[in-house]
Structure 1
Amino acid sequence: MENITKVKLGSQGLVIPALGLGCMGMTTIAGADIYGKADENESIATIHRSLELGGNFLDTADLYGPLLNERLVAKAIRGNRAKYIVATKFGYEIDDQEQLTWGYNGKKAYVKKAAERSLKNLGTDYIDLYYLHRLDPNTPIEETVSAMADLVKEGKVRYIGLSEVGSGTIRKAHSIHPLTAVQTEYSLFERSVEEEGVLNALKELGIGFIAYSPLGRGFLTGELKSPDDFAADDFRRSLPKFQGEQFYKNIELADEIKTMAREKNITSSQLAIAWVVAKGLVPIPGTKRIKYVEQNIEAAKIKLSSADLARLESIIPLGTVTGDRYDAANMAVVGK
């Protein structure tokens, strides 16, 4: 195994690599491709290569598929479960026919049901890190978290976390059972958790932070040229960042980052990942290809100087408008 720095995630005892592997793009969601077509064998080979390089922290969710992604992860880790740290999520309601209702469910009975289903799909008897994927507006967070705490007591879950929530919710949840992590979109293009004080609250409470979409959903790869680069069913077409004039403004910013990356003889993606790591946070870039997992793990080892960080943050200063990260309906439930 190659050496990848290990970090403490939060203060409850979980130790993980400085960079994880987001598995979402390895399967469809409700029949739609996420970030283009995926090949199961290549995806599994990517997970295996990540492990060889020390990248044993996998991030999935029951939403992805639904359920197909957890089953793919199960195939990849079979016979080698103890070597992986597996995070999965629940909260988007999935019915008994394995269909998404597109509602949210954080009720006690559903938490238990969702966890049992994930354990079965992952082919394991414990989940390392179990997140509430989205807040259920109709269920008090205290009810959801006490149900998650029961799973910890039963040994089915080792650590718990929340995704896309605000400081108030984090404090309430943490008082019921200590949180190990909060996961939110975070990149040079998306820093609302800094602006809204979430990172400060996490620091104060000793909770770790996991940054998903650290490559700005593809913008920070420096490879996008036009909205026509996406397949008709690519979900990014529905995101404000990728529409109209905003798309081209974002490309200009990405081009400046590309220039800086070229000077350092690394890729734009590597520079964007190294920036998140330099902030003391754990990025989980998603990929389904060996080539990119290798590049991403290398990026976690790149050291940026304070001058590098200042330059990057002057290209996209805090508060720069890059477009909402979801459509209006989905924006209504994040950060609450």
Structure 2
Amino acid sequence: MASLLDKTKSALHWHDTPALVLAGHQIGAIGYGLMGLTWRKSPPTQEQAFTAMKEALSTGSNFWNGGEIYGNAKRNSLHLLQEYFEKHPEDTKKVVISIKGGSVYDGVKPDGSEENTRRSIKECIEVLGKAGKKLDIWESARVDPNTPIEITMRAAKEFVDAGTLGVISLSECSADTIRRAAKVVKIEAVEVEFSLWATEILENGVAEACKELEIPIVAYSPLGRGFLTGQIKSPDDLSDDDIRKSMPRFSPENFPKNLELVKEVQRIAEKKGVTPGQVGLSWILAKSGKGGLPTIIPIPGSTTTERVRENVGTIELSENDVKEIDSLLAGFEVRGDRYGGHLQSMCFGDTPPLEK
């Protein structure tokens, strides 16, 4: 098997080439998810986080995705980014920042009211502004089931019109919500979970709506929260405070069945001389803009430079390779929901109609 360094070098020419434009800036084909740098019981040190962030930028991953919900009111992605840009002011114009907001702190509870939408955007602008960084993209983290999406979008649009916010995105919403929001303001992107074990958007109309409206998809958890990398062999590999312990797909009864998918991906990876995670990311890139799908930007997260390099070390899959993987997925049933409890009910959310 080729060394990781060789694989990464062979792929960098692809990802150094800008794939598209978001918020008026060119971005690479693979983005960078910031969640793991702040949203865990024992987050990495500032030094380790900064090193990983700097490495992501150096490999062409200049689209960074964070969130107010990735931590708490006192420390989340915004504060980490503020500290990073204070130390590295030369990077403020090199990085495109998307922040998921609009939820109540200390819990994913969406509040799409005008008041909370304005509160969220103002805080994002103020914290990043302390380091001289403009908020490129504000993203509704989940949609409020009690507030029409039009109200949320109108409040967010005020900041775009005022020039203090770049653009607006959505996350985890239905095709109908996307279409309704797009009638109020230009939707720059839609963030959803998409990976070899999360392909719902291909069937529920979300990918179709985004293609129709020319909205790119931002694919979070493209490695199945680490499951598809083959690094997790059993539920016992997860600590008791690991958030994945609450996710049905990682439960003791579902884990062994889902592991069969990983074994098949490992088989393909060995044949290609790459890692299972690289196969998963390569498949997403092969799907991007093809077969009636919109552009898809995966945003794997990583806390080490080694993983950052691995995530950009993808390969170009042939048409037959993609068909083989698609056939594998068609014959495999992933066991368990993506989330447990109330979080699952907010997946691909709808909002009530706007009263006229």
Alignment partner, residue 335 of structure 2: 322
Tell me how far apart the structure 2 counterparts of residues 272 and 308 of structure 1 sit (CA, whole Å). 12
Q: Among residues 171, 182, 188, which one is paired with 2:190 in the alignment?
A: 182
Q: Retained in 2: the 8 A contact 1:185–1:212?
A: yes
Cα root mean square deviation, aligned? 1.9
Tell me how far apart the structure 2 counterparts of residues 102 and 162 of structure 1 sit (CA, whole Å). 15
| CA offset digits 1:176-204 (Å, max 9, x no partner) | 00101000000000011111011011000
Q: Which moved more, 1:319-328 or 1:225-234?
A: 319-328
Q: Which moved more, 1:185-194 or 1:148-157?
A: 148-157
Tell me how far apart the structure 1 counterparts of residues 159 and 178 of structure 2 sit (CA, whole Å). 19
Alignment partner, residue 28 of structure 2: 17
Q: Retained in 1: the 8 A contact 2:25–2:96?
A: no
Tell me how far apart the structure 1 counterparts of residues 301 and 157 of structure 2 sit (CA, whole Å). 28
Q: Retained in 1: the 8 A contact 2:108–2:343?
A: no
**Paired residue type of 1:221:** T
Counterparts in 2 of 1:84 and 1:322: CA distance versus 1, 3 Å: same
> 1:71-82 alignment to 2 at 5 Å?
71-78=79-86, 79=89, 80-82=91-93
Q: Which moved more, 1:173-182 or 1:320-329?
A: 320-329
Q: Among residues 151, 154, 166, which one is paired with 1:158 in the alignment?
A: 166
| CA offset digits 1:260-284 (Å, max 9, x no partner) | 1011111111110111111111100
Alignment partner, residue 203 of structure 1: 211
Alignment partner, residue 254 of structure 1: 262
Q: Among residues 13, 18, 25, which one is paired with 1:6 in the alignment?
A: 18
Alignment partner, residue 28 of structure 1: 39
Any idea what SS the aligned residue of 2:139 has? strand
Tell me how far apart the structure 1 counterparts of residues 311 and 272 of structure 2 sit (CA, whole Å). 16
Question: What residue ranges of structure 2 are gaps of 5+ in the alignment?
Answer: 1-11, 289-295, 350-356
Q: Among residues 226, 232, 236, which one is paired with 1:224 in the alignment?
A: 232
Tell me how far apart the structure 2 counterparts of residues 319 and 164 of structure 1 sit (CA, whole Å). 24
Any idea what SS the aligned residue of 2:253 has? helix
Tell me how far apart the structure 2 counterparts of residues 139 and 223 of structure 1 sit (CA, whole Å). 41
In the TM superposition, residue 231 of structure 1 has moved relative to its aligned partner by 0.9
> 1:67-106 alignment to 2 at 5 Å?
67-78=75-86, 79=89, 80-94=91-105, 100=106, 102-106=108-112
Counterparts in 2 of 1:230 and 1:205: CA distance versus 1, 3 Å: same
Q: TM-score, normalised by structure 2?
A: 0.86
Tell me how far apart the structure 1 counterparts of residues 123 and 139 of structure 2 sit (CA, whole Å). 14
Q: Retained in 1: the 8 A contact 2:85–2:133?
A: no
**Paired residue type of 1:89:** K
1:46 aligns with 2:52: yes
Any idea what SS the aligned residue of 2:192 has? strand
Q: Retained in 1: the 8 A contact 2:34–2:301?
A: yes
Q: TM-score, normalised by structure 1?
A: 0.91
**Paired residue type of 2:329:** I
**Paired residue type of 1:82:** K
In the TM superposition, residue 245 of structure 1 has moved relative to its aligned partner by 2.4
Identity of aligned residues (%): 34
Q: Retained in 1: the 8 A contact 2:68–2:77?
A: yes
In the TM superposition, residue 120 of structure 1 has moved relative to its aligned partner by 2.5
| CA offset digits 1:11-38 (Å, max 9, x no partner) | x755321010001000135xx35xxx42
In the TM superposition, residue 125 of structure 1 has moved relative to its aligned partner by 5.0
Alignment partner, residue 289 of structure 1: 304
**Paired residue type of 2:55:** R
Alignment partner, residue 309 of structure 1: 322
Any idea what SS the aligned residue of 1:86 has? strand
Q: How many matched pairs? A: 323
